[in-house]
Amino acid sequence: MISRREILKRSPLSFGTIALAELLRRDGLFAAERTVAGSLRRPHTSVTARSVIFIFQGGGPSQVDTFDPKPLLQELHGRDVPESIGRLIPKIARSPLNNLLASPWKFRQYGESGIPVSELHPELGRCVDDMCVIRSCQHDSPIHAPAEFIATTGTQVGDRPSLGAWLTYGLGSENSDLPGFVVLKTGETVRPPAIGTGFLPAQFQGVLVDSQKGIPNLTLPEGFTRADRESQLRLLETLNREHLGKSSAESREMRVKANGPATPLDPRLSALDSFDSELEARIKSYELAYRMQKSAPAIFDLTRESSETHSLYGIDQKETAEYGRICLLSRRLIEQGVRFIQIRSGGWDSHSDIEAEHGKKCRALDKPLAALLTDLKRRGLLDETLVVCGGEFGRTPASQRGASKPGRDHSPSGYTTWLAGGGVRGGQIIGRTDEVGYSAVERPVHPNDLHATILYALGLDQHELVYEHHNRRELVTVNGGKVVNEVFG
């Protein structure tokens, strides 16, 4: 017989090895470690970023009023588009081509790079040496929802996984107590496909967080203890696992009857698979919610930050307070290992009175976004955090027909997206639109190219991060995008 004292004497190394094995397994560092459906939880190539903050400007900001100045547009104010330029404009963006509208804002050059930025963004202007401005983003849908789906999922149908779901599926989260994919929003409506999982397992869905309320139900109800909650969750998991086992057994039986596991001929199979995925996600969400009740309240408590930090983000000013909180919370979540954050910034659809509407949006967002870049940089986090900012399309250089005050219509054929951090070579401009800003005429970049570039920064090969669906090897970038290598130098 071995005494307890002897066991403790002999076992420390064994215990340590078991703990190390679990850490390696969780981070996907075993050579054979694979996640659901074969996706490796480790990078395929070299890594320049470990996480992403994607600021989605819903409605479409105007490129010619922010980061793409057009001197000729100022000269041609109120006139038609010259024929020499009109020939370059795709049919999808040809209406209207008259009554050109000069930008109400002046531009000035900033930083050592001298990149011109509108007076709408004086604070971001001071960050241009860390920013790569892509002026030639382009696709072919002028309608909000399909365009948003292209920008977030790769196609306009809305039935595919969002980029955040793909990245969480491919790399997981670095913090088991927090979601890998968080969506921070204001009061706007969020279209589900833009943060959804499509055909991926439901557990990779983005978790919505309201800018005012945070994550609901993080505190225990009155009279409940953590032991009570643990007991409840154990019971729920037992019942759910039993139910999941029964439905999985039924699915296997039906597959055999349908003549082989690889040929799901019975239409009921897809419904069962979807049910299994959603139930598995529900089980995991209960477990995650319990862990979050312990860790998340401290992360979402912004009173722990200094008054200097609150001032930097504009939280102490009414106009910038909301986005200030969102941007500061993004930095805190990045520090805790969240993989993908989507910040929702709606209200850019300025068909009328663009001067008032864009002015209001930029005053609310400019300082917080600049603070986010500044704060990430001074904490040494910008080098490993890729920040991406843009909308589903841009806006026409011409004035909107029938608008009571001058505004601009949708324009998907040439618009701007900027990137910073995560290996990006700042202080550069990529691509060019025509002389009045309608269409990309040099180095066009499709959203699938942008997605391929984001994947590349995180060490993921778009052709290796795949998911088998309906006997098709699905890619993040649908049929493949082209990495914009110039972004990185």
Provide the residue ranges of all domains of the chain, joining segments of one domain with +. 1-33, 42-215+300-488, 220-297
Question: Cis bond leading into 96, ω under 30°?
Answer: yes
Mean pLDDT for 280-300 is: 69
Interatomic CA distance for residues 260 and 249, integer angstroms: 15
Banded model confidence at residue 243, pLDDT cuts 50, 70, 90 = confident
Higher pLDDT, 387 or 270: 387
pLDDT of 33 higher than 50: no
pLDDT at 299: 84
Interatomic CA distance for residues 194 and 172, integer angstroms: 19
Q: Exposed/middle/buried for 242, CB within 10 Å: 0-12, 13-18, 19+?
A: exposed
Interatomic CA distance for residues 195 and 274, integer angstroms: 18
pLDDT at 262: 45
Q: Give the tens place of pLDDT for each residue, 196-219.
A: 999 998 889 998 887 676 666 666
Cβ(416)–Cβ(68) under 8 Å?
yes
Interatomic CA distance for residues 203 and 165, integer angstroms: 9
Interatomic CA distance for residues 162 and 198, integer angstroms: 7
Cβ(418)–Cβ(136) under 8 Å?
no
pLDDT at 152: 98
Q: Which of 476, 390, 464 is nearest to 63 (CA)?
A: 390
pLDDT at 263: 45
Higher pLDDT, 437 or 9: 437
The overall average pLDDT reported for the chain is 86
Mean pLDDT for 457-479 is: 93
Per DSSP, which regions of 79-228 are E strands?
Answer: 107-110, 115-118, 131-137, 181-185, 207-210
Quote the tokens at residue 476: 């993040």
Q: Which of 67, 152, 64 is nearest to 343 (CA)?
A: 152
- Highest mean pLDDT range out of 76-80, 201-205, 250-254? 76-80
For the ranges 60-64, 200-204, 222-226, the lowest mean pLDDT is seen at: 222-226
Q: Which of 34, 43, 37 is nearest to 467 (CA)?
A: 37
Q: Using alpha carbons only, what angle is made at residue 260 by residues 258 and 265, rounded to the nearest 5 degrees? A: 35
Q: Which of 11, 14, 41 is nearest to 26 (CA)?
A: 41
Looking at CATH, the fold of the domain delimited by 42-215+300-488 is given as Alkaline Phosphatase, subunit A (3.40.720)
Higher pLDDT, 93 or 99: 99
- Could you give the residue ranges of the DSSP H alpha helices within 47-198? 71-75, 83-86, 122-125, 144-153, 163-171
Banded model confidence at residue 251, pLDDT cuts 50, 70, 90 = low
pLDDT of 18 higher than 70: no
Interatomic CA distance for residues 109 and 407, integer angstroms: 25
Per DSSP, which regions of 300-456 are E strands?
Answer: 340-345, 385-390, 394-395, 410-411, 415-420, 428-430, 432-433, 440-442
Interatomic CA distance for residues 195 and 206, integer angstroms: 5
Mean pLDDT for 133-151 is: 97
The neighbouring-strand residues paired with 432 are 442
Mean pLDDT for 371-392 is: 98
Q: Per the confidence metrics, is the pTM higher than 0.85?
A: no
Count of CB atoms within 10 A of residue 270's CB? 13
Which amino acid does the sequence have at 447? P
Q: Which of 30, 14, 138 is nearest to 432 (CA)?
A: 138
Residue 184, φ and ψ in degrees, nearest 5: -105, 120
Interatomic CA distance for residues 447 and 130, integer angstroms: 22
Cβ(122)–Cβ(137) under 8 Å?
no
SS3 52: strand
Banded model confidence at residue 141, pLDDT cuts 50, 70, 90 = very high
Interatomic CA distance for residues 448 and 384, integer angstroms: 22
Interatomic CA distance for residues 430 and 136, integer angstroms: 7
pLDDT of 39 higher than 50: no
Which amino acid does the sequence have at 348? W
Interatomic CA distance for residues 323 and 331, integer angstroms: 12
Count of CB atoms within 10 A of residue 190's CB? 18
pLDDT of 473 higher than 60: yes
Banded model confidence at residue 174, pLDDT cuts 50, 70, 90 = confident
For the ranges 237-246, 261-270, 394-403, 448-457, the lowest mean pLDDT is seen at: 261-270
The neighbouring-strand residues paired with 100 are 398
pLDDT at 245: 72
Q: Give the tens place of pLDDT for each residue, 297-354.
A: 788 889 999 999 999 999 999 999 999 999 999 999 999 999 999 999 999 999 999 9
Q: How many residues does the chain have?
A: 489
Only one residue has tokens 């704060």, namely 375
pLDDT at 86: 87
pLDDT of 43 higher than 90: no
pLDDT of 193 higher than 90: yes
pLDDT at 486: 97
pLDDT at 15: 62
pLDDT of 260 higher than 60: no
pLDDT of 359 higher than 70: yes
pLDDT at 176: 80
Long-range contacts of 357-365 (CB under 8 A, 24+ apart): 357/407, 358/61, 358/62, 358/65, 358/66, 358/120, 359/120, 361/61, 362/66, 362/120, 362/121, 363/319, 363/320, 364/319, 364/320, 364/322, 364/323, 365/320, 365/323
For the ranges 5-14, 187-196, 328-337, 384-393, the lowest mean pLDDT is seen at: 5-14
Interatomic CA distance for residues 28 and 43, integer angstroms: 9
Cβ(346)–Cβ(60) under 8 Å?
no
pLDDT of 247 higher than 70: no
